[in-house]
Amino acid sequence: MRKFGRRDLLMNSLGVSAALVGGVSYERKALMAHMMAPTQQAKAKEPVTGLQRGKFGKYEVSRLIIGGDPVSGIAHAGELVYQADFMKQYFNTPKILETLTLTEQNGINTLLMRADDRIIRHYNIFK
C-alpha cells in the first residue's frame, strides 16, 4: 500500500481547485450565453385588477410591494459569487423600466429599494 504524503495532498488539492475554477467559469459562460440569446417576447397578459390597498397616512399603497434586490444585484446566492454580476447584466435599463411599467400596470404602487446610485438613476428615468 502506497503512503499518501504532503506532496500527494498538494498535487491533488491543486488539481481539484483547478477543476472547480474551470467548472465555475464554464457555468458562468453558459449562463451568459443563454441570457444574451434572443428569446421569445412574453405575450402580453391582462393586468391584474383588485389588488388590496392600505392607508399609510394620506397615501393609499398597494399591499404587494416590489423589492429592489434583483435591480441592485443582490442575489443571496451564497457561494455563487458571479450571480450578482449576472443579475446586474440581466436587469439592464430596458428590463428595469419594463419591470416597473408592468408593476404599475398591475396596480403595484409601492417600492422597497435601496437608495443606491443604480436604483436612483433608473427611478429618475422612470418617473
DSSP state at residue 63: S
Judged by DSSP in three states, 60 sits in: strand
Looking at residues 56-64, what average pLDDT do you find? Answer: 90
Per residue in 20-55, pLDDT (tens digit) is 455 556 666 666 666 666 555 555 677 777 788 899
70 contacts: CB under 8 Å, gap ≥ 6: 87, 90, 91
Instruction: Give the DSSP H or E segment for 56.
Output: strand 53-56
- Whole-angstrom Cα distance, residue 78 to residue 86? 14
Q: Would the pTM count as exceeding 0.85? A: no
